[in-house]
Structure 1
């Protein structure tokens, strides 16, 4: 990986549908060279996948909450994670260190739908404690890391 690969990654982050030709023009590289580098980045796992990022406002999904969850015992992890994976309004789930075991990001319609989800979460066997914050405004939301330095050992 070199500065050219980083430039390609940044261009794809800015617009995942940008043409190889446009990237080549921007970084002064031939279309075939850009295409080959992108294939290598995909094959090596640097580029994990491509996706469309959907604006929740168009589906009345404008309320975001972060919920911290403590489990009674590790024996409840599988059933908790099964629940999380089946709930479409739970967008993220992170196993964390500190006072809680997991943090989930919920994006839903309104306070009433949030209340229903929170009650469902609290009803999952093994959950002993929760703490929820409602997001008032998001000031930064990057969907991926910013590739700025070469990986360690490279």
Structure 2
């Protein structure tokens, strides 16, 4: 559900910034039908109000030796006290983990990890992920081809 305090112009600004976070203020203002100063003021308000969380660069994983994506489902041992909290804290310190979700179903968490190759994944799995106290079981799927990767929200 869209926030009712956002007008059409704010949504246009957000959409344009999702597509190109480095767009020049003057170009963005022209796209959304404002002059530059009011456009900048709206962007600052959207940042201040938390609609814009961050600006970031999207890096090429192939160039940086992190082209292998693995989706890992993890089940925790619920008899171990605080296993969910311990797992959450541990995962935050694993640089290979790009995303981690608490999910419904047969497993407790789904993780998206990026590594250089299968050997690096095996080391990550054995030394890092499966060594977290409370991890009972995991199953992995290696991504063969990425069809779509996007952080863009529907506005």
Matched, 1:2 2:15: no
Task: Choose the corresponding residue for 1:129, options 117, 121, 137.
Answer: 137
> TM-score, structure 1 length as denominator?
0.90
Q: Which has the higher helix share?
A: 1
Task: Choose the corresponding residue for 1:83, options 82, 90, 104.
Answer: 90
Q: List structure 1 runs of 4+ shifted beyond 3 angstroms.
A: none
Q: CA deviation at 1:102?
A: 0.6
Structure 1, 80-89 or 127-136: larger mean CA deviation: 80-89
Task: Choose the corresponding residue for 1:11, options 16, 31, 41.
Answer: 16
Matched, 1:140 2:148: yes
Task: Choose the corresponding residue for 2:101, options 90, 94, 113.
Answer: 94
The CA RMSD measured in Å over matched residues stands at: 1.2
Per-residue CA deviation, residues 50-107 of structure 1 (Å, 9 max, x unaligned), is 1111111111110000000011126112322232112111111111111111111100
Q: Which residues of structure 1 form unaligned runs of 5+?
A: 148-154
Correspondences of 1:29-68 after superposition (within 5 Å): 29-68=34-73
Q: Which residues of structure 2 form unaligned runs of 5+?
A: 1-5
1:69 is paired with a residue whose SS is strand
